[in-house]
Amino acid sequence: MLGLAALLAAAYVGLRAWRYRMLLGQGSAVGVIAVTAASWGAGQLLPGPGSDAAFVWFARRDLDASVSRGTGAALVARLLDMASLAVILLVSADLAGISLGRPVRVAAVVLAVILGVALLALFVRRPRRLLLGLAERMPVVGGLAARAGRALAELSSWQTLVGLSLATVGARLLAALEYYCLFLALGAHLDLWQVWLALAVRTLLFALPVQGVGGMGTSQVWWAGGLALAGLPVAAALSLGLVVQILDLVVALPEGALGWLALRVRRAVRDGGERSAPRSRSVWPRSQGSTPASGMGEGAASQPPPSPDLVGATTGFGKRD
């Protein structure tokens, strides 16, 4: 089951990379996959939305993406994830026959509506112009808003929107299947809808800026909350949340390390190619009475012409200092 979970996790990274490539509009497929895997692995260890910050850094260094473009891609991807998770929370609870309670249901609906309106404002022309027009008047983010407007205009085609939606839904489904395999490996008797519900709660809470290193001390609490909401006793949810968090790291960290290693190899190959590129040296014919090329200084131009013996010794070419 762990091997199948690892394969599903790799497919999950691939779909996220496809979405990032659409959002960035640059970078090779291999490069974007490596950046996505490396930032995803870093996000397993860094507190809060550390994967977003890691993605911006890796994209700037290894894909030559500007900070504004990388930040915009990470922001749009985060909004798509949070909106889809809020919808999954509501749908999976209904399919699993679980009552969320009025406060949780209302909070999920409000979150989905707010994030949906935010995405609508970003991708639809008139709301986007109004929102960015207000942002451009602000002294700090004005220039960033102008550049973001041009980038978002490129993403507003229906083909791109369909691709982003399919990549988001596919990634969420693969994540649910991955954790379903992890819970099966632990012998937990949960159906897919219960796992999807618990995963939605855990991932929504994982976006909070207060997290332990590697998720320890916090992620298992988020898991416990989601599993308890899915119908498990609190004690069983706490112990199961701790073990599944460890298995999660066992699966995610090697794939993140592979992405980081791939980026190191790509940089080494690129740097080696730049160092081994031949540098052209310009030489010019030099005969008796010729004037040296410009740029050697007035003093050099005023020197007497070389003797015929010297010209013959240098095979007809002058030496460049």
pLDDT tier at 145 (50, 70, 90 boundaries)? low
Tens digit of each residue's pLDDT (9 = 90 or more) over 170-225:
999 999 999 999 999 888 888 899 999 999 998 888 877 666 666 666 778 888 88
Tell me the residue type at 141.
Answer: V
- Please state, in angstroms and as integers, the Cα–Cα distance from residue 150 to each residue in 3, 65, 66, 240, following that order: 43, 15, 14, 47
Tell me the two tokens of residue 244: 């599944």
The residues spanned by each domain of the chain are 2-269
Of the candidates 169, 166, 250, 236, the one whose C-alpha atom is nearest the C-alpha of residue 198 is: 236
> What percent of the chain stands above pLDDT 90?
28
Residue with tokens 């994830």, as numbered in its chain: 81
pLDDT recorded at residue 167? 94
Tracing tokens 């209904």 back to the chain, one arrives at: 94
| DSSP code at position 218 | T
Position 156 pLDDT exceeds 90? no
**Cα separation, 318 vs 129, whole angstroms:** 63
Token pair of 303 as six digits: 């020197």
> Distance between the two ends of the chain, CA-based, in angstroms?
68
pTM of the model: 0.77
Cα–Cα separations (whole angstroms), residue 55 to 18, 30, 32, 95, 247? 14, 15, 10, 34, 23
pLDDT of residue 147: 61
Residue 257: pLDDT above 60? Answer: yes
